[in-house]
């Protein structure tokens, strides 16, 4: 009786659960570029939070998301999909670093160590190497207060800025990792110019060891064709004399036995007037090493210091996910095999939705590893869900799916709640685009996740590119090739194990 009733109820869901959800149409072309049309990457899972250069950590079963902006705002949620509660700002006002840009710090990187939380941040003048990295600390991430500890390194001008490698690099986009093998902490930084550098931190994680002459190594360097790619001993503060190298936003991560260097490549923002040529926008790339100090290589064996980098995630879904970057990784918890890749992205559906710097969205995907190389997993894997008891999916043949893709109306957003944050309310068009993204990801991800579970699967000139620029899919595959089929996965809450599969 229960099974009959359950299946009858499942049939009523067919009209609202489609194998191939409608995809928002691409509007008029924006400038010289166009959104990437390919469905090579799965669509972003919606976190329902406007954010740029995110840093997200999990602590006591809650998620805390930090963003670029005045005094470094941050938010809290019990789930990555929100809703998010605005907690305030890290800094009480401007940064204590005496530099232009102190009122609008960038790219926070947050970590916890020995019951103290560290928020590393950047202060910079747009389009230059006039930059510093600072840090603030607190013993209480939720209530604060945070103490601004000031500057760690400076480039362009300031203390020791004429010393190598400060004289060649740009002190923004900090990332800190403590080597699990020996406990030594390292700071990575860099954007454009000579790209990504790394140096050891002192024992309190608030100063670079031997700051005047640090034991620094270059981790990533973009190679430009037809020019002399040798490092100069010093670079102008406001231009790159031999061409731009759009590598920035590094994130160091360890998952045994490999150290990973994640980074963003391409133009991060400033898309309001025109899009860059296809492929020149942000994408998320990675290299790996057996040592935290490198050298890091991509999947082909190319060194990151020689222009290498494996693309893990890029623009997709007809502009619904455009220029993802500013990424980070959250490691799997005790109930989850999959790490989380999070990032910001723009929406390039038309000229008026989601292209402004402050309209960037927080997105995320689960990642698994194949021979030690990270790969984005479509949707939400079963083992990443703590309380799912049943999943019902309707699938059709490829031809019928294609028909629904072209004609079916967008399903209503399943979660009508909105972010509890003081950020400006999105426009109606932006809300519609976000809803389309969320629903497309949910349906596509559910189809892919069900398949995997059933198989028992465990930037341009620096003045206009990168951070400096902020001011100036194919039909879903049918699981069964029948006119209509329903798959019901009955699962126990923990662990997530399939107990029955029913096909009608």
The model's pTM: 0.73
**Which is more confidently placed, 21 or 497?**
497
Q: What is the percentage of the chain residues whose pLDDT exceeds 90?
A: 61
Mean pLDDT throughout 464-478?
36
pLDDT at 38: 53
Say how many C-beta atoms besides its own lie within 10 A of residue 123's C-beta. 26
DSSP labels, 16-67:
T--SS---PPP-S--TT--------SPPPEEEEEE-SS-EEEEETTEEEEE-
pLDDT at 385: 57
Query: Does the pLDDT at position 479 exceed 50?
Result: no
Confidence grade of residue 447 (pLDDT, cut at 50, 70, 90): very low
pLDDT of 333-381, one tens digit each?
Answer: 877 789 999 999 999 876 556 788 889 999 999 999 999 999 999 999 8
Rounded CA separation 84/56 (Å): 12
Confidence grade of residue 273 (pLDDT, cut at 50, 70, 90): confident
Task: Report the helix count and the strand count for the chain, using DSSP H and E.
Answer: 3, 24
Contact criterion met (CB below 8 Å) for 486 and 7: yes
Query: Does the pLDDT at position 278 exceed 60?
Result: yes
Instruction: State the virtual CA torsion across 384, 386, 390, 396 in degrees, nearest 10.
Output: -20
**Which is more confidently placed, 444 or 385?**
385
Q: Which of 42, 152, 44 is nearest to 95 (CA)?
A: 152
Mean pLDDT throughout 85-110?
98
Query: Does the pLDDT at position 311 exceed 80?
Result: yes
pLDDT at 382: 81
**Which is more confidently placed, 287 or 484?**
287
Query: Does the pLDDT at position 8 exceed 90?
Result: no
Mean pLDDT throughout 417-438?
38
Rounded CA separation 233/218 (Å): 13
Rounded CA separation 377/446 (Å): 11
DSSP letter assigned to residue 68: S
pLDDT of 132-182, one tens digit each?
Answer: 999 999 999 999 999 999 999 999 999 999 999 999 999 999 999 999 999
Encoded tokens for 95? 């940064």
Mean pLDDT throughout 386-391?
30
Query: Does the pLDDT at position 59 exceed 70?
Result: yes
* Residue owning tokens 């082909």: 300
Task: Give the strands of the sheet with 116-124, arranged side by side.
Answer: 106-113, 116-124, 131-138, 147-155
Confidence grade of residue 491 (pLDDT, cut at 50, 70, 90): very low
Describe the chain by its helix, strand, coil percentages, rounded to 5: 10, 35, 55
Q: What is the percentage of the chain residues whose pLDDT exceeds 70?
A: 68
Say how many C-beta atoms besides its own lie within 10 A of residue 496's C-beta. 20
- Of 248, 280, 298, 448, which one is the catalytic site residue? 248
DSSP labels, 259-288:
EEEEEEESB-S--SS-PPSTT-B-EEEEEE
Q: Give domain limits for the chain.
A: 2-23+388-458+473-503, 45-384
Query: How, if at all, do strands 147-155 and 131-138 pair?
Result: antiparallel
Contact criterion met (CB below 8 Å) for 49 and 42: no
pLDDT at 350: 67
Mean pLDDT throughout 320-333?
95
Mean pLDDT throughout 402-408?
32
CATH C-level class of 45-384: mainly beta
Rounded CA separation 384/77 (Å): 17
Query: Does the pLDDT at position 237 exceed 80?
Result: yes
Q: Is 317 in a helix, a strand, or coil?
A: coil
Query: Does the pLDDT at position 408 exceed 80?
Result: no
Rounded CA separation 495/493 (Å): 6
Mean pLDDT throughout 420-444?
39
Mean pLDDT throughout 96-122?
97
Cα distances from 180 to residues 35, 255, 305, 456, in angstroms, run 40, 10, 24, 32
> In 380-482, at which residue ranges do the beta strands (DSSP E only) sit?
390-395
Average pLDDT, the chain: 76
Rounded CA separation 245/222 (Å): 6
pLDDT at 504: 31
Confidence grade of residue 247 (pLDDT, cut at 50, 70, 90): very high
Query: Among this protein's residues, is 53 annotated catalytic?
Result: yes
Contact criterion met (CB below 8 Å) for 248 and 173: yes
Rounded CA separation 333/384 (Å): 9
Rounded CA separation 220/251 (Å): 12
Say how many C-beta atoms besides its own lie within 10 A of residue 399's C-beta. 10
**Which is more confidently placed, 249 or 448?**
249
């Amino acid at each position: 009786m229960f099974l009959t009733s359950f299946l009858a109820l499942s049939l009523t869901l067919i009209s609202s659960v489609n194998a191939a959800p409608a995809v928002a149409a691409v509007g008029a072309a924006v400038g010289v570029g166009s959104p990437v049309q390919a469905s090579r990457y799965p669509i972003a899972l919606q976190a329902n939070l406007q954010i740029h250069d995110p840093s997200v950590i999990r602590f006591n079963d809650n998620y805390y998301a930090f963003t670029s902006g005045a005094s470094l705002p941050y938010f809290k949620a019990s789930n990555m999909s929100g809703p998010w509660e605005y907690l305030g700002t890290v800094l009480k006002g401007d940064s204590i670093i005496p530099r232009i840009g102190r009122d609008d710090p960038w790219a926070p990187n947050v970590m916890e160590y020995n019951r103290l939380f560290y928020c590393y941040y950047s202060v910079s003048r747009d389009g230059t190497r006039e930059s510093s990295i600072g840090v603030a600390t607190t013993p209480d991430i939720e209530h604060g207060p945070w103490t601004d500890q000031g500057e760690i390194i400076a480039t362009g001008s300031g203390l020791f800025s004429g010393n190598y490698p400060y004289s060649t690099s740009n002190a923004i986009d900090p990332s800190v990792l403590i080597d699990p093998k020996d406990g030594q902490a390292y700071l990575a930084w860099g954007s454009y110019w000579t790209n990504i550098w790394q140096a050891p931190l002192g024992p309190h994680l608030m100063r670079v060891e031997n700051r005047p002459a640090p034991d620094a190594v270059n981790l990533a360097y973009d190679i430009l064709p037809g020019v002399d790619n040798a490092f100069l001993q010093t670079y102008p503060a406001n231009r790159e004399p031999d061409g731009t190298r759009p590598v920035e936003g590094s994130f160091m991560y360890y998952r045994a036995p490999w150290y990973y260097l994640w980074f963003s490549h391409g133009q991060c923002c400033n898309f309001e007037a025109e899009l860059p040529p296809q492929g020149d926008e942000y994408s998320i790339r990675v290299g790996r090493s057996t040592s935290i100090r490198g050298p890091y290589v991509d999947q082909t064996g190319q060194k990151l210091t020689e222009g290498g980098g494996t693309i893990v995630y890029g623009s997709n879904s007809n502009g619904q996910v455009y220029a993802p970057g500013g990424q980070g990784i959250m490691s799997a918890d005790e109930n989850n095999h999959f790490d989380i890749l999070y990032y910001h992205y723009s929406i390039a559906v038309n000229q008026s939705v989601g292209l402004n710097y402050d309209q960037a969205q927080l997105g995320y995907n689960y990642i698994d590893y194949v021979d030690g190389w990270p790969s984005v997993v479509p949707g939400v894997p079963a083992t990443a869900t703590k309380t799912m008891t049943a999943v019902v999916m309707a699938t059709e043949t490829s031809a019928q799916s294609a028909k629904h893709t072209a004609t079916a109306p967008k399903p209503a957003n399943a979660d009508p709640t909105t972010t509890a944050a003081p950020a400006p309310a999105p426009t109606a068009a932006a809300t519609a685009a976000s809803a389309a993204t969320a629903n497309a990801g949910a349906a596509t991800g559910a189809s892919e996740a069900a398949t995997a579970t059933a198989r028992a699967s465990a930037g341009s000139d620096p003045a206009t590119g990168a951070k400096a620029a902020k001011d100036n899919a194919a039909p879903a595959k049918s699981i069964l090739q029948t006119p209509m089929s329903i798959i019901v996965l009955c699962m126990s809450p923990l662990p997530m194990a399939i107990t029955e599969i029913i096909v009608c």
